[in-house]
Every structure is written in C-alpha cells, then in structure tokens.
Structure 1
Amino acid sequence: MKSSKAFSIIFALFFLGQIVIAQDVAKNKVVITGVRFAYPLVEKWIKQYQQTNPNSQITIEARTTTDPSQYDVLIEAYEPEASVKESREYVYIARYALLPFANASSAFAKTYSDKGLTTELIKQFYFNDIYADKKNEKKIEIPYTIYTRLQKAGAPVTFARYFGFEQANIKGKAIAGADEHLVKALLKDSTGVSYSTPGLLFNLQTRKPIDGLTVLPVDIDGNKRVSADEKFYDNLDIVLQKLEAAELKNVPIEYIHLSVLKNNTNPEAVKFLKWVFEHGQDNLHEFGFLKPDAKRFQQEKDHLQQLGLN
C-alpha cells in the first residue's frame, strides 16, 4: 500500500515536471517566416544565438503561397502598407540590392555584359510602359525572354518601384514560387533575362557568379553609358564594397525588416531580435546583403531597446 502511494507521488511529481518542461519549451519557442532569400542568413543567426541560448527553440517555417497560420517574427523585403504597420513593430536590419542578369550562354549576355544597361534600356527590356516614346527605343535584334515573379514579393515590388512602375508592369514569363525558382527557370532558357539579389546570383563559397549566369553591368553614374570601371561583377565582395560606397543609379536597394506583434509579443522573439542587432551585422556580407546606413542602424537599434512590448 505504501509503495503504491509512493509510486503515485513519484508519478505525479514526474508528470508535473513534464508540464514545467513543456511550458519552458513553449515559452522559448519562436517561429519565423517571410521572404525566402533571407533564410540562409537567418539560419546562421539562429545557430549562433542558440550557442549562447541553448534552451531557445527557434525555427523557420517556410512561406508558400501564404504565410503560416501562426508565427512570431515576419521577414519582409518591401515597405508594408500603413494599415499593416498598425499591429506590428518593425526593425530594419539589413539591405539588399537587385541586379540584372542573363543566362550566360545567351546572345543577350554576350552583348550586354560588354555594352551594359542604361536606364532607358532597362525600362525598354523589363517594363510595359504605355507612356514611352516608341521612336526613341533601341532596335533589338537578339532574342531574349524576361522572367519575373508571379506572386507579389519584395524583389519584384522593389525592382519595379525603383524605375517608376508597379510589379504588374514587368514584362515576361511569370514564375510561381520563390526567387530561387526564378533563377532556376532562367538557367534552363538560353534566352533568359531577369533580376535578383546578389546572394542568389553568386556562389557564396567561391564569391563568383553562379555557373551559367552572367550579372550585367549598369550605368551607375547616370551618364548614359557603361564604362570599364562600372564592370565589377566578377566577385561578390567587390560588388558589395562598390554598392555600399556611394549612392548609385540603376541599382535598386531596399531594406530587409523583421517585425513582431505590438501586443502579446513573444518575449523570446524580442530577445532574439536584440541579439541580432548586437551580433548579426558581421554575417551580412557572407550572404550577399548590404549593411544598413550607419545612422539608420543606430536609430533602429535604439528603437528596439526602447520598445515596451508585452
């Protein structure tokens, strides 16, 4: 009888212990979702964060055609609407650039890796512009096929807005899926031309362009021609150095931001964001991202520290 009672007490204590453990795991669990081209960078941050916070349970749940039903941190690559910002707190943590590229075996790549692309040519190749004066357009005799994203996403929205258009104005074949699917589709088409982020266009180990792709130079000083010193796309580190050095023409650059709910915020998610601001900047170049403007970064860091999230 006594042994049965003792067993019951032990079982109850064990059961209560399991509940406490489960509660601790739930308390430390963070789900992240959003723009997929940022996942490798965020995965690196998670791995480093968990080295000093081993009880943290941070996972990425991949976005499909929609976001997961529940998540704590949302990564996005374009400025949200004002109505969306009413319920979420945003911190801007890194920047990304968008570069034109072509299938390396295409006649387009061979021609425009030498000539480069001016503002006028970019608009002519990539956009349906009902206001353009057709008499001023260049006659293009080489074959090319523009590829773009089907769904609304950071890269096409940013690319279009930079040149004064909307995503719906981008020409060409619309590919479903993420930005990496766009790159894969273009690799299969010898006439393919598109735009993407450096992290997807370069091999992150060799720092060279992905085999089969040619990154196309653009008129970065706005003088309507592309000179030799504007052709620096053979090495990712040089590209990032050049893009961070000055304000450039014809290179769309936008912020990556992470957001959490203003109310009922997961404390572990906020703790993770604060860690990223303290330690995550050293990883940006590794994955093809640009560092934020120094003044803007400090403002965002101060903003995060002052948040009264609950």
Structure 2
Amino acid sequence: MKTKIILGFSLLILCCCSNPLPTKTPTTAPHHQGKIRITGAYALYPLVQQWIADYQKVNPNVEFDLQAIGSGNGLDEILNKKTDIAMISSQVPENVDTLLWISPVARLAVVPIISKKNPYLQTILKNGIKKDELVGLFTNQNPHTWGDIYGKPTKDPVKVYVRSDKSGATDVLAKYLWVESNEVVGVGIEGENKMIEAVKANPLALGYCNLVYTYDLANKQFFNDFCILPIDLNQNGIIDKREDFYNDFAELQRAMFLGKYPCVLNRNLYVATLGKPKTQEMVDFLKWVLTRGQGIVPKLGYIELRNSEIKYNLYYLLN
C-alpha cells in the first residue's frame, strides 16, 4: 500500500504542474438512497460527529447514521457492503486495499494512560517510562510491579488493560512496541470509553487510548482523574526538557506535529469506501471533509493534513 501511495503521489505532482485540480464535482452521480452510514474507528468518531453537525448546517437534507464500532469492524462492514463509509485507524491489509477508495482525513496519536490516583504518580511523571518497560508490561514478558520500575520496595502489580475489540489503537501500539497485535495482552476492554473508565477506577492501572479522549474540549484542559504516561524517549530514566511536553494540550499537540512524540504512535486516520464513492451526496460530503472540514481538525485535538495530501486525495476523489 505504501509503495502505491508514493508512486501515485509522484504522478500527481507531474499532473499538477501542467493541469489545475478540478474545482467542482461531477454532476452525473446518482443520489443517495436513505442515510449515509458511517461506521468504524473510535479514534475518528468525535471528529466525524462534528463534521456531520457542521455539514448539516448548510446541507440539512443530507442525513447520516454514525456509529463507533472499532476500526477492524468498520473495515469488515465496508467489505461486506453493510456501511457506506468506514472510519479506519490502522493500516489496511494489502489483500483488500485494492478494493477500496481510501483517503487520510486527519492524524491522531495513541497515548499510554494511568490513573491519577496511582501511588507513584509524582515519580512516574518525573521519570516517565522506558519503551523497553512498556514492551514487557503490554506483552507480559516481564511483568514488573510499579515498585520494580521505579526502584521502590513495594510490590504493587501493574494492572494492564487492553482493547478486546478490533482496535486500530492496539495495532498502532503493537507497531510501536515491535510486536504483533495479538501479542498485546491484558484485561480485555471493549471500546475507548470503557477503557478509560477502567483505568480511572484502578489506581494501579495501565492502559492506552486515542489522544482526543484525554482532553475536555469545553474547558480546554486534560481530564482530572487520569493522565498520559510520559514516555522516556532516550531511556535515561528521567523526562528531560526536550521530552517534557505533557502538561499542556497545545504543547503536546505541537510536539506531535513536529515529530517529537514517537511518529509511529501518531498515525493517519482514514475514510474508505468500496470502490470510489458512487453517490453525489457522498462525493460532496467527502470533498467538504478534505477542504472546509480541515479547519475543524486542530480545534478538536487532531492534526490536519498537509496541503499536498489534500490536493492528492481531492484529485482522485473527483476524477
């Protein structure tokens, strides 16, 4: 898939040098029958929900049915013709990507999370956690206690929670840890919200979620009862100044945009249709997502696409 995207992008650059991108959508597509059904990744749900709300302000006759069911389940539904648009938060298998029209629409990071009631909280925030320790904890290869990790005599076990549904967040975490998704083990939790509730309820918990679920948009603050576990990127046992960007959401978001946070954990989020979008309403909505809709992206805690990516995907939507 990566090879095709790179080759396609190179061809697009050549095309764009001599031909301007189209400015209007085709008018021959049939009209959509019923609601546009969108299902899939929890990671994209808050953003798509806001996109729909804003889009319907100027297109009130277009109706949607939006459901978060997990990235893998969304992919299954689009392949089985049970949904119109799938929200995807992990790499699409090569054996099916040729069947789909796929476009990135935003970026979002996966973050490890702990309870703010953790008895080692201040030490954890000061020292962070090394990648090697995360590997041991999430694969149960080296099940440390919190005391083991931070040089304390206490033997409080780390209670690891993982997503039990087909989660793109798990796939991304596994890729960062250099393991397979099925090697990420712990107490299974279905869905993003239940994961967060489990972590909040257990002072010794370790879990993970998508960044936007750590932040209260109304108050522009992180939530009070759980927090992001800082990653000790250079593994020197302390969160250095260059790694210290977890206290402010805007600062963390900028660090992710600049690549200071692990790039593997900060992945593209996609929408996909079975073949190119076939109805006028779907084409118009996806065009709006790739243009005016991008203005909403950073306001909700995501990272917007680059202009070159927008032009590339818009071109292949409209041609």
| TM-score after normalising by structure 2 | 0.77
Aligned CA distance change for structure 1 residues 106 and 250 (closer, same or farther; 3 Å): farther
Aligned CA distance change for structure 1 residues 108 and 265 (closer, same or farther; 3 Å): farther
Tell me, yes or no, if structure 1 residue 258 matches structure 2 residue 271. Answer: yes
Give 2:186's aligned residue.
172
Q: How far apart, CA to CA, are the structure 2 residues paired with 1:235 and 1:279? A: 27
Q: How far apart, CA to CA, are the structure 2 residues paired with 1:236 and 1:214? A: 11
Aligned pairs (5 A) from 1:219-238: 219-220=232-233, 225-238=238-251
- 1:28–1:55 Cα contact (<8 Å) kept: no
- 2:47–2:300 Cα contact (<8 Å) kept: yes
Tell me, yes or no, if structure 1 residue 126 matches structure 2 residue 133. Answer: no
- 1:274–1:304 Cα contact (<8 Å) kept: yes
Show CA shifts across 1:161-187 (max 9, x none): 122111222232111x21121111111
- 1:96–1:255 Cα contact (<8 Å) kept: yes
Identity %: 21
Tell me, yes or no, if structure 1 residue 47 matches structure 2 residue 53. Answer: yes
Give 1:292's aligned residue.
305
- 2:156–2:204 Cα contact (<8 Å) kept: no
In structure 1, list runs of 5 or more residues that go unmatched.
Answer: 1-23
- 2:158–2:204 Cα contact (<8 Å) kept: yes
- Residue of 93, 109, 123 corresponding to 2:105: 93
- 1:219–1:250 Cα contact (<8 Å) kept: no
**For the pair shown, which has the larger CA radius of gyration, 1 or 2?**
1
AA partner of residue 170 (structure 2): P
Q: Secondary structure at the match of 1:214?
A: strand
Tell me, yes or no, if structure 1 residue 34 matches structure 2 residue 48. Answer: no
- Residue of 216, 228, 247 corresponding to 1:203: 216
- Residue of 89, 99, 102 corresponding to 2:114: 102
Give 2:85's aligned residue.
73
- 1:75–1:257 Cα contact (<8 Å) kept: yes
Q: How far apart, CA to CA, are the structure 2 residues paired with 1:264 and 1:244? A: 30
Give 1:189's aligned residue.
202
Give 1:157's aligned residue.
171
Q: How far apart, CA to CA, are the structure 1 residues paired with 2:103 and 2:274? A: 12
AA partner of residue 56 (structure 1): V
AA partner of residue 154 (structure 1): G
Q: How far apart, CA to CA, are the structure 1 residues paired with 2:264 and 2:228? A: 12
AA partner of residue 121 (structure 1): E
Show CA shifts across 1:224-256 (max 9, x none): 742134222222222111110235437611111
Tell me, yes or no, if structure 1 residue 240 matches structure 2 residue 253. Answer: yes
AA partner of residue 153 (structure 1): S
Give 1:60's aligned residue.
66
Show CA shifts across 1:50-97 (max 9, x none): 222222122214437955672211101001112222322000111110
Shift of 1:287: 2.1
- 1:221–1:249 Cα contact (<8 Å) kept: no
Aligned CA distance change for structure 1 residues 47 and 86 (closer, same or farther; 3 Å): same
Q: How far apart, CA to CA, are the structure 1 residues paired with 2:297 and 2:31? A: 29
- 1:104–1:110 Cα contact (<8 Å) kept: no
Aligned CA distance change for structure 1 residues 88 and 106 (closer, same or farther; 3 Å): same
AA partner of residue 269 (structure 1): M
Q: How many residue pairs are counted as aligned between the two chains?
A: 277
Q: Secondary structure at the match of 1:286?
A: helix
Tell me, yes or no, if structure 1 residue 145 matches structure 2 residue 151. Answer: no
Show CA shifts across 1:124-167 (max 9, x none): 2222449x9xxxx9577443211110122100011111221112
Aligned CA distance change for structure 1 residues 124 and 186 (closer, same or farther; 3 Å): same
Q: How far apart, CA to CA, are the structure 1 residues paired with 2:55 and 2:234? A: 40
